[in-house]
Amino acid sequence: MNTGRRRGGLAGALLGATALAFAGLGAPASAQQDDIPDVDEVVHSRNMQPIAHLDKEGPFAGRSAYNTDIAFTRGHAVLGNYDGFTVYDVRKPSKPRVVSQVLCPGGQNDVSVSGDLLFLSTDYARTNDSCTSEPSEASNPDSWEGIKVFDISDLSRPEYVASVRTDCGSHTHTMVPAPERKSVLLYVSSYSPAPELPNCQPPHDKVSIVEVPIDSPQDAKLVATPVLFPDGGNPGDGYSRKTTGCHDLTAYPEKNLMAGACMGDGILVDISDRMNPRVIDRVQDNTNFAFWHSATFNNEGTKVVFTDELGGGGMPTCNAEIGPERGANGIYDLTGSGDDAKLAFRSYFKIPRHQGDTENCVAHNGSLIPVRGRDIMVQAWYQGGVSVWDFTDSDRPKEIAYFERGPLSDTQNITGGSWSAYYYNGHIYSSDIQKGFDVLDIRDRRTAPAKSVIFDEFNAQTQPSYGRR
């Protein structure tokens, strides 16, 4: 989510990113309300069934405690929350249970895992790096934002072991294993510098790389700050955001590639030299992309799906007035190879189900469903729900399954819905901002082969290979 934290939280986002995103569009008129489910009504396609749900609980039960991203390890799902994280046992998908909760405020608290380590992104200024810190001002040079490291060898008792401050905080991060260094590398994405922010100075055209030694995570440190846009990024045009850093990076370590969604730019990056990522192609779409948010490779590494988070995640953009090409996914084929690799635009995909005027809805986080021979993705769309779609034909993507709830309210725009939806070991898991944790079962001949693909560990932004076609 593009929270606009340096302008004062969600309200700042709606006055900042959203005002730009809707420039020239006007306010959305009434959507096709006849097709909108009732408040909290659950609807889904015949081939998608909800099999379990757990409400938010404990310190995360309140409306302001947004659920965020998910990582998976040893049959458990770790679900981030603006106020910390929850560990769920999902070895019996129809009967998930809470194993532990850690109260550690510092939104967004996006998570990733590697072995016995868990990493947490803090992108809101805090008085210090502890889990008992208080909100601070980003203009205060003593405020803290960055990466936190936890030992999760005992999933029932995570232990906080280290922190690393990074410039402009850590909105998201991408874990890349570095076995030759006996460590893991975290590529930290952050953005929106300003002259009045001492720890977030312009131009900030870089990423921060944090190294965490596997055997001594307490020695985690910042090791590099490579510049991705030496000549500057997209200057912005009133609709597309100016590039001042990256929102999200997705690595495909086996192929030494990374795809970056960087506000006004989509990039393809060579990471064969892990400390010196090198941009080999860059694309812009100033007509339809307002905010390049995230990226997903297909399994062959021959395509990239970029998402556009029009409206910063807080606005109703899934309607006839906004249309099918804004707030959507852009599908790009990779042509050529090596330094000659290029991102070639093919088509857009947006869910075909219109949402109501009070439902924040836009393309958000998803992952591949591991089916050899096809390109199929599951994806969160906030209050647009969870969509499964096939982009095997890059020019003709289509939705094949869905799950959603009706609006949280038919009179107020309350931020909610699915933040992340990922496929893990036979089932789909969704992090709902307000409602909690959903487990979905898709039963479709096109996705059936994925049931046999098992991963011990899964981070959506660190793509594994599940075999060749």
Confidence at 468, pLDDT banded by 50, 70, 90: low
**Amino acid sitting at position 396:** R
Give the chain's domains with CATH numbers. Answer: 5-458 (2.130.10.10)
- The reply to whether omega before 203 is within 30° of 0 (cis) is yes
Residue given tokens 């339809």 in the structure block: 288
Angstrom distance (rounded) from CA 182 to CA 166: 22
With 80 as the cut, is the pLDDT of residue 3 above it?
A: no
Question: Closest by alpha carbon to 247, among 237, 260, 228, 230?
Answer: 260
Question: Closest by alpha carbon to 181, among 209, 155, 140?
Answer: 209
| Residue partners of 379: CB distance under 8 A and separation at least 6 | 307, 329, 363, 364, 365, 366, 386, 387, 388, 389, 421
User: What's 3's DSSP letter?
Assistant: -
368 within 8 A of 377, measured Cβ to Cβ: yes
Which pLDDT value is given to residue 1? Answer: 85
Task: Report percent pLDDT > 90 for the chain.
Answer: 92
| Residue partners of 133: CB distance under 8 A and separation at least 6 | 105, 106, 126, 127, 144
Q: Which helix (H) or strand (E) holds 12?
A: helix 9-15
Q: In Å, how far are 166, 264, 284 from 449, measured between CA atoms? A: 42, 37, 36
- pLDDT tens digits for 156-204? 999 999 999 999 999 999 999 999 999 999 999 999 999 999 999 999 9
Which pLDDT value is given to residue 35? Answer: 83
237 within 8 A of 265, measured Cβ to Cβ: no
Mean predicted confidence (pLDDT) in 394-409: 98
pTM over 0.85: yes
Q: Which is it for strands 386-390 and 398-405: parallel, antiparallel or unpaired?
A: antiparallel
Kindly write down the DSSP assignment for every residue of 381-429, as one continuous string. -BTT-EEEEE-SSTTS-EEEEEEEE--S-SSS----SEEEEEEETTEEE
**Chain-centre distance of CA 305, in angstroms?**
13
- pLDDT tens digits for 33-68? 458 999 999 999 999 999 999 999 999 999 999 999
Angstrom distance (rounded) from CA 37 to CA 145: 40
Mean predicted confidence (pLDDT) in 17-36: 45
